[in-house]
Structure 1
Amino acid sequence: MKKQVLGYGLLACFYCSAFFSVANTASANISSTSLPDVDLVIEGTTIISPIDKHQISVKANHWVAIEGNRISQIGSLTKPPTAKLVIDGSDQYLIPGLTDSHVHLKTMPGIDFLDANAAHMQSAFLARQGTNYLYYGVTQVIDPSNTKDGIKRFHESGLTPDAFFCGAMPVFNGYNAQGILHKHLHHERPYYLAQDTDPKTTEAITHAHQAKQSLLRLKNDGAVCAKVYIENGFDLADNIPMVSEETLNELTQYAKTLNLPTMAHANATDMQDIAANAEISVMGHGLWNWLEEQELSNEAVLPPKVSSVLTKILNQDIAYQPTLNVIRSLTDLMVEDHIDQTEYKTVLPPWQITWYQSNAGQWFNVEMHKDWGKPPVELIIERFSAKQTNGQRVLKYLYDHDATILLGSDTPPAPTFASQPGLATNWELADMHKAGVDLKGILAAATINNANLYNLSQDYGTVEKGKRANLLLLNSNPLKTVNAYDDIDKIILRGQVFDRDTLHINKLEQRAPADQSP
């Protein structure tokens, strides 16, 4: 544990003359000891900060001063200002806090809302999920399907990363709006896109959900992007209504005039092709579903249609979230005793692990097995693994050809307990590196690339004067090992310092939900 040295306190002595009345009291004489200049100084550390997606700045033996929630000064040759708190950062590495730009903040992973204890489990989870993210160094999150009120509730839930949202723009009965009655859609999905095929409603509602109107509304609500759903069905299926080409093009072009990025839910070759043709800003998933070209997956070169889509992504500089966590967490759900891995004990209390191990907690595993036609579990794992290999190959190809890669874990992507806040982000970084993204690229994807894409670079993404003081003090060099992201000494959040150990699940108050079963 690095020593922490308190700065100079205020020493004041007041001398009063007994010969003067209160009205003529002599002025107090303040001692020569001055107030501290700043709140926090980190001394003698190595600052590692991205310059852009290609370049990283490394500055050894520097100090960083923080006043309030901002970095106020950075130096090396001059003496640092006096501070209320001084941290010795020698032999350590200071980097920007991580941004996970694809998380879902509303629901406990793997919960079954029909369970008698669901409400209690959900409440306990929501009260601590922010701390789970912080334990793994995630100081900013973006939920691509939330609202300003949802983000407000998240921030009010306890200690949390800085959170932002994208406005979800599904169509009636489309992906992310299936099962919602049209009369409830305005309330449930406030930025949905109206189409000519929709049931009749009031003229005011129809007008409010035209592409331009919905975009303006979500922009005014503070969204950092707009998310559209380009999904006609899973794998080879074609059974989900889609946004029309005309509406999609109108949306993406108008969003550009608002300086608002657009994100596409799309993970199949044909769907990502539609997204690229519409000039989307961000592919919100990796390209792992190669459809009929899956039979070519063992070839040394990528299949023609896959290659065509990737060329469009590169030519248009469409940012890319590989979201390897999606297939990884669905695969691990099928692996016997996966939840027993020790890493889960950093973010999950014993009662939650016990529930996941129970028959009730295995409900999604059973349902998914049934949906696959109940083949041997080994066959399901093999098929998932093939898709994961597709995603890894695409990521490596794009990174090797200078694509803009973003850290986005999609936590959780489904009701899978194998995708937990913070831990899934950490595993995503490791999987990205394993797929072929070098350590400079990993740092850029987790920091500056997200900040630049979502117009947050005035506050986040680098260690610079004036930036928000969301920082990580690491024991290991992140340019030497990806394991550095799990070797955190301190998290600085909005200028406040937290020893990582204090954010471990064992240090949080966790009570098992009262049994509500009959």
Structure 2
Amino acid sequence: MKKQVLGYGLLACFYCSAFSSSVSAASTHISSASLPDVDLVIEGTTIISPIDKHQISVKANHWVAIEGNRISQIGSLTKPPKAKLVIDGSDQYLIPGLTDSHVHLKTMPGIDFSDANAAHMQSAFLARQGTNYLYYGVTQLIDPSNTKDGIKRFHESGLTPDAFFCGAMPVFNGYNAQGILHKHLHHERPYYLAQDTDPKTTEAITHAHQAKQSLLRLKNDGAVCAKVYIENGFDLADNIPMVSEATLNELTQYAKTLNLPTMAHANATDMQDIAANAEISVMGHGLWNWLEEQKLSTEAALPPKVSGVLTKILNHDIAYQPTLNVIRSLTDLMVEDHIDQTEYKTVLPPWQIAWYQSNAGQWFNVEMHKDWGKPPVELIIERFSAKQINGQRALKYLYDHGATILLGSDTPPAPTFASQPGLATNWELADMHKAGVDLKGILAAATINNANLYNLSQDYGTVEKGKRANLLLLNSNPLKTVNAYDDIDKIILRGQVFDRDNLHINKLEQRAPADKSP
């Protein structure tokens, strides 16, 4: 149910006239003789805020006052302060804005940069992706392989969530650095890790890319974590150079002295075992690749090696990003007419859907089918589905045993159009719940767990005095249904109020890029 907005102060924001909250016909003006004490009050609402990863606070019939971009007061028995804008939050639920801690902000999902219209499509997407995330209640983002300058460009692109980055630390020719000439690596991957097997370069460059030096540099640049890549090849392959055990251990131990979390790209049993032994802070993927133990995947008990790795994750208190979106979006890419689903029309303009449906837009589908050896599509879907079940079982085991679970969708994980900003995050929450994470755990994973892990809890993760005013006003109770995260009435971003409907793709100016084809 839509709530009436009482009083109205001009919201200074990007495309204010298009995005800001609508003024009700029942609005009343604040007398000039009675100056407001605060900018915004949300009154009569139920505040649902996590206490920790296990406990949730529920406070009925409360008001929240906001000054600038901060929560200034919270109360129930006392009268709220006078405000420029008053929102009636009765029969609604106020929660912290969501944090997706695994996104990639540089590229339109599924784009083919050889396409004649690629530059125009990319530009239109980058100007809009922030709003797509906000439509689904994501007010904070962490890109685990970006830079200070990249995040600055994102924030300058338009209306965006608050974004942060982790410094990517690949090795030469390793995962996330394949195909980059060594002489270009310092520029392309400014925090890469030098190893003894690298080609010769200047002493200054070699020194700058020792583990400790790269860590210091990325921390000074404002990174909230360091990301390493523990990947020797897909599935059973062993054809990608890896970071050495000595370098990895040096990195994780020194990062602890800097109070800097470390994240590992790893999704196979052997790779996650290496990450766990190094006491990484965050497992940046779910454990869906069970390697030779896949033959045991239909048994009731988890395979021994899988169980062993999950036990290490628990014993070392390693936070865990299930990233169920990875396999889900690769599977859905193979499903005929998947892009026709109604949900895509909340974030994608008609021209982008039409391009995805074209032969040009199906390029990654064709390439992936070819890489699989062109078997029947049904067989590919069946194999992907088996891996997804692996990931779901690993997640349930960890959650049931008290692990710290983080919302991280990995949007997009590959050039798949089935992973779109905001929508993929929402589907990730639904898939986590389906796998066995209860609704308290879902809320914690999307809010306080990420804030605590990435040292952002002074600003985010809870509804408290002094916290940044990034909030969601929901029509449904998120402790009753996971669908509440798709039943948002208003998004409060840095103290500014947005009706969700005004963030729908239909309300954005999204003209088709000019056709540049020959």
TM-score under structure 2 normalisation?
A: 0.95
Q: Aligned pair in 2 of structure 1 residues 218, 24: CA closer, same or farther (>3 Å)?
A: closer
- The runs of at least 4 consecutive aligned structure 1 residues that moved more than 6 Å come to 8-32
- On the 8 A contact 1:211/1:251 being kept in 2, the answer is yes
How far apart are residue 273 of structure 1 and its match? 0.2
Q: Aligned pair in 2 of structure 1 residues 454, 16: CA closer, same or farther (>3 Å)?
A: closer
Q: Aligned pair in 2 of structure 1 residues 208, 30: CA closer, same or farther (>3 Å)?
A: closer
How far, CA to CA, are the matches of 2:491 and 2:300 in structure 1? Answer: 43
Deviation string 1:312-356 (CA, Å, 9 cap, x unpaired) is: 000011000000000000000000000000000000000000000
- On the 8 A contact 2:19/2:503 being kept in 1, the answer is no
- On the 8 A contact 1:10/1:33 being kept in 2, the answer is no
How far, CA to CA, are the matches of 1:6 and 1:78 in structure 2? Answer: 19
- On the 8 A contact 2:9/2:85 being kept in 1, the answer is no
Deviation string 1:295-323 (CA, Å, 9 cap, x unpaired) is: 00001000000000001000011000000
How far, CA to CA, are the matches of 1:103 and 1:242 in structure 2? Answer: 23
How far apart are residue 90 of structure 1 and its match? 0.2
Deviation string 1:35-78 (CA, Å, 9 cap, x unpaired) is: 10000000000000000000000000000000000000000000
Aligned residue pairs, count: 518
- On the 8 A contact 1:100/1:409 being kept in 2, the answer is yes
Q: Aligned pair in 2 of structure 1 residues 8, 405: CA closer, same or farther (>3 Å)?
A: closer
Q: Aligned pair in 2 of structure 1 residues 90, 292: CA closer, same or farther (>3 Å)?
A: same
How far apart are residue 7 of structure 1 and its match? 4.5
- On the 8 A contact 1:4/1:85 being kept in 2, the answer is no
Deviation string 1:158-193 (CA, Å, 9 cap, x unpaired) is: 000000000000000000000000000000000000
Query: Which residue in 2 is equivalent to 1:44?
Result: 44
How far apart are residue 26 of structure 1 and its match? 40
How far apart are residue 248 of structure 1 and its match? 0.2
How far, CA to CA, are the matches of 2:10 and 2:339 in structure 1? Answer: 52
Q: Aligned pair in 2 of structure 1 residues 66, 289: CA closer, same or farther (>3 Å)?
A: same
Deviation string 1:84-111 (CA, Å, 9 cap, x unpaired) is: 0000000000000000000000000000
**Matched residue of 2:187: which SS?**
helix
- On the 8 A contact 2:3/2:89 being kept in 1, the answer is no
How far apart are residue 23 of structure 1 and its match? 44
How far apart are residue 20 of structure 1 and its match? 47
Asked if 1:423 is matched to 2:423, the reply is: yes
How far apart are residue 19 of structure 1 and its match? 51
Question: Which sits farther off after the overlay, 4-13 or 200-209?
Answer: 4-13
Q: Aligned pair in 2 of structure 1 residues 17, 99: CA closer, same or farther (>3 Å)?
A: closer
**Matched residue of 1:11: which SS?**
coil
How far apart are residue 33 of structure 1 and its match? 2.6
Q: Aligned pair in 2 of structure 1 residues 494, 298: CA closer, same or farther (>3 Å)?
A: same
How far, CA to CA, are the matches of 2:19 and 2:297 in structure 1? Answer: 96
How far, CA to CA, are the matches of 2:20 and 2:445 in structure 1? Answer: 68
How far apart are residue 12 of structure 1 and its match? 24
How far apart are residue 17 of structure 1 and its match? 43
Query: Which residue in 1 is equivalent to 2:2?
Result: 2
- On the 8 A contact 1:12/1:29 being kept in 2, the answer is no
Q: Aligned pair in 2 of structure 1 residues 247, 498: CA closer, same or farther (>3 Å)?
A: same
- On the 8 A contact 1:287/1:322 being kept in 2, the answer is yes
How far apart are residue 13 of structure 1 and its match? 31
How far, CA to CA, are the matches of 1:329 and 1:20 in structure 2? Answer: 32
Asked if 1:242 is matched to 2:242, the reply is: yes
Deviation string 1:3-38 (CA, Å, 9 cap, x unpaired) is: 545549999999999999999999999999331000
Query: Which residue in 2 is equivalent to 1:318?
Result: 318
**Matched residue of 2:140: which SS?**
strand
- On the 8 A contact 1:172/1:194 being kept in 2, the answer is yes
How far, CA to CA, are the matches of 2:172 and 2:204 in structure 1? Answer: 17
Query: Which residue in 2 is equivalent to 1:79?
Result: 79
- On the 8 A contact 1:174/1:242 being kept in 2, the answer is yes
Q: Aligned pair in 2 of structure 1 residues 363, 26: CA closer, same or farther (>3 Å)?
A: closer
Q: Aligned pair in 2 of structure 1 residues 90, 248: CA closer, same or farther (>3 Å)?
A: same
Q: Aligned pair in 2 of structure 1 residues 245, 33: CA closer, same or farther (>3 Å)?
A: same
Q: Which runs of 5+ in 1 are unaligned?
A: none
- On the 8 A contact 2:6/2:24 being kept in 1, the answer is no
How far, CA to CA, are the matches of 1:128 and 1:243 in structure 2? Answer: 36
Q: Aligned pair in 2 of structure 1 residues 387, 82: CA closer, same or farther (>3 Å)?
A: same
- On the 8 A contact 1:10/1:34 being kept in 2, the answer is no
- On the 8 A contact 1:356/1:362 being kept in 2, the answer is yes
- On the 8 A contact 2:268/2:290 being kept in 1, the answer is yes
Query: Which residue in 2 is equivalent to 1:11?
Result: 11
How far, CA to CA, are the matches of 2:385 and 2:499 in structure 1? Answer: 37
- On the 8 A contact 1:13/1:30 being kept in 2, the answer is no
Q: Aligned pair in 2 of structure 1 residues 25, 41: CA closer, same or farther (>3 Å)?
A: closer
Question: Which sits farther off after the overlay, 365-374 or 27-36?
Answer: 27-36
Query: Which residue in 2 is equivalent to 1:486?
Result: 486
Deviation string 1:440-469 (CA, Å, 9 cap, x unpaired) is: 000000000000000000000000000000
* Greater Rg over alpha carbons, structure: 1
- On the 8 A contact 2:7/2:28 being kept in 1, the answer is no
How far, CA to CA, are the matches of 1:390 and 1:18 in structure 2? Answer: 44
- On the 8 A contact 1:14/1:29 being kept in 2, the answer is no
How far apart are residue 431 of structure 1 and its match? 0.1
**Matched residue of 1:13: which SS?**
coil
Q: Aligned pair in 2 of structure 1 residues 25, 109: CA closer, same or farther (>3 Å)?
A: closer
How far, CA to CA, are the matches of 1:436 and 1:241 in structure 2? Answer: 36
Deviation string 1:358-386 (CA, Å, 9 cap, x unpaired) is: 00000000000000000000000000000
Query: Which residue in 2 is equivalent to 1:164?
Result: 164
Q: Aligned pair in 2 of structure 1 residues 212, 39: CA closer, same or farther (>3 Å)?
A: same
Q: Aligned pair in 2 of structure 1 residues 227, 88: CA closer, same or farther (>3 Å)?
A: same
Deviation string 1:175-224 (CA, Å, 9 cap, x unpaired) is: 00000000000000000000000000000000000000000000000000
**Matched residue of 1:241: which SS?**
coil
How far apart are residue 132 of structure 1 and its match? 0.1
Q: Aligned pair in 2 of structure 1 residues 386, 8: CA closer, same or farther (>3 Å)?
A: closer
Q: Aligned pair in 2 of structure 1 residues 6, 247: CA closer, same or farther (>3 Å)?
A: same
Question: Which sits farther off after the overlay, 15-24 or 495-504?
Answer: 15-24
Q: Percent identity?
A: 96
Q: Which runs of 5+ in 2 are unaligned?
A: none
How far, CA to CA, are the matches of 1:169 and 1:69 in structure 2? Answer: 34
